[in-house]
Amino acid sequence: MSYTIKFGTDGWRGQIAADYTFENLRRCAQGFATYMIEEGHAGKEVVIGHDMRFHSENFAAAAAEVLAANGLKVWLTDGATPTPTIAFAIVNKKAVGGINITASHNPPTDNGFKVRDHTGGAIPPVGLAKIEAAIPDIDGVKTMKLADAIDQGLVTKFDASDDYIAQIKTLVDLEPIKEAGLTVLVDTMWGNGAGWFPRLLEGGKTKVIEIHNHRNPSFPEMSRPEPIPPNVDVGLAATVANKADVCLITDGDADRLGLGDENGNFIDQLRVYGLIAYYLLEVRGQRGPIVKTLSTTYLLNKLGAEYGVPVHETGVGFKYIAPKMTETDAMVGGEESGGYAFRGHVPERDGIVAGLFFLDMMCKLKKKPTELLEMMFEKAGARSYYNRIDSRFPMEQKEEIKARVDAATPETIGGLKLLNVNKTDGFKFELEGGSWLLIRFSGTEPLIRVYCETENPDNVDPILQDGMKIAGVA
């Protein structure tokens, strides 16, 4: 019997050579091809790209062979390409969807199969369920040789970068950033962001220093290419050593952004989303809905109230955010993991554009990252302190853990009164004073995540420790 492939938050991820094999990859591609044909897209164009992980270019080629054998026409990137660049190529080529071979921030042992619709954004849950249901056993897979597909005009290799750069220049004026004289430390985490900021900002007074900027699928000096501590510690130290004004960190496929301030201190993702929203509202004068996941900061609600814009909350993942952004014509959408998407672009996370927007805010307001944080806190009328603990667990215990959390009815958490439990996606315990605790399972790995946000830094550890006890993983 074939291995059962289950789609998570963004598609399918697995361990290379264990369950993530060429056979299972081709089965996934056949499910996607079948879905596209059933949706009325027979013979239409699809974009396929990949990251720098082990064998990614070969997995991408295998997916192209399957789609071509099903009569779909494939634009196949000619090298490792950032996720946002692939997403924009889908729109630019007027393709009906896309496949991205990447495991994003997962450990080096993994790879993934992300799927996108014609907007370049995540396919909604109902579509993901249809793709998963269409995945056949291996004998139900159609395939052909890549060379034959190219000869027959079914697969065309292309460079997606020039059109993406032209798009970036419609979103942000690069010249003031080039001439600002900043020193920018960029940690590309051995991933697809390598070379992009130097290329975009070369030729002026601003100096860009890159580290971890070539292919190394073992991801040395970090456990995984996820832009949070301790993976970012080397980059933060390099910020201090080089007397840089800011540290920009892109994850493995460059769709997420991490930030370090001028002192080499990490700025957590919730604060970064608050800063990005503040930039769009205050510096650029934009107005429109903000879309956030339930694991993201209350600072957005406070900024929304201050500037008179609505804030919509969704489940975790861009499979919820992207459709909501499209539905509401949102100004910005984002999540706790450091992914942010912008109106006028594609409803997909873009760590490169997010980084450029932050540099633009530094230039426009002539402030350091620490000063920008204080400005944002003052405008929001609140401060934010956040942390998250990830714990691995045996998959056979998932239902037991879930039932235990579901049954929990504590009067207080971290000494704060429990007001409500939101079970939209996981278990969000809403506490007095606006604080919250969230317990949920990862959609991509056997991890249980315990998060919290509060206005008092002394509350963070007590809230998290009570959360770990509720989950039974303390």
Sequential DSSP letters for 323-372 = HHHHHHT-SEEE-TTSBEEETTS-SS--HHHHHHHHHHHHHHHT--HHHH
| N-terminal to C-terminal alpha carbon distance within the chain | 38
**Looking at the whole model, is its pTM more than 0.75?**
yes
Encoded amino acid at 434, one letter: G
Per-position pLDDT tens, the chain of length 474? 589 999 987 799 999 999 999 999 999 999 999 999 999 999 999 999 999 999 999 999 999 999 999 999 999 999 999 999 999 999 999 999 999 999 999 999 999 999 999 999 989 889 999 999 999 999 999 999 999 999 999 999 999 999 999 999 999 999 999 999 999 999 999 999 999 999 999 999 999 999 999 999 999 999 999 999 999 999 999 999 999 999 999 999 999 999 999 999 999 999 999 999 999 999 999 999 999 999 999 999 999 999 999 999 999 888 899 889 999 999 999 999 999 999 999 999 999 999 999 999 999 999 999 999 999 999 999 999 999 999 998 888 899 999 999 999 999 999 999 999 999 999 999 999 999 999 999 877 788 999 999 999 999 999 999 999 999 886
Residue-wise pLDDT tens digits, 95-138: 999 999 999 999 999 999 999 999 999 898 899 999 999 999 99
Is the Cβ–Cβ distance between 342 and 353 less than 8 Å?
yes
Which part of the chain has CATH 3.40.120.10?
11-163, 180-265, 268-383
* CATH fold for the domain made of 11-163: Alpha-D-Glucose-1,6-Bisphosphate; Chain A, domain 3 (3.40.120)
> Which candidate, 458, 459, 463, places its Cα nearest to that of 429?
463
SS3 content of the chain, % helix, strand, coil (to 5): 40, 25, 40
Rg (CA), the chain: 22
Q: What angle do helix axes 299-307 and 369-380 make, rounded to 10 degrees?
A: 70
Which part of the chain has CATH 3.30.310.50?
385-471
Q: What is the bridge-based pairing of β-strands 332-334 and 290-293?
A: parallel
Place domain 385-471 in its CATH homologous superfamily.
Answer: Alpha-D-phosphohexomutase, C-terminal domain (3.30.310.50)
Is the Cβ–Cβ distance between 155 and 149 less than 8 Å?
yes
Give CATH for domain 268-383. 3.40.120.10
CA distance 255 to 277: 17
CA distance 33 to 135: 9
Count CB-CB contacts under 10 A for residue 43.
12
Contacts of 348 (CB under 8 A, 6+ apart): 83, 84, 87, 116, 120, 121, 122, 255, 318, 322, 341
Burial call 404-418: b when 16+ CB within 10 Å, e when fewer = ebeebeeeebbebeb
The domain 180-265 is placed in CATH, from the list 3.30.300.30, 3.90.226.10, 3.40.120.10, 3.40.190.80, at: 3.40.120.10
Cross-strand partners of 441: 448
Cross-strand partners of 12: 113
> Which candidate, 255, 311, 313, 303, places its Cα nearest to that of 282?
303
CA distance 309 to 36: 36
Cross-strand partners of 75: 47, 156
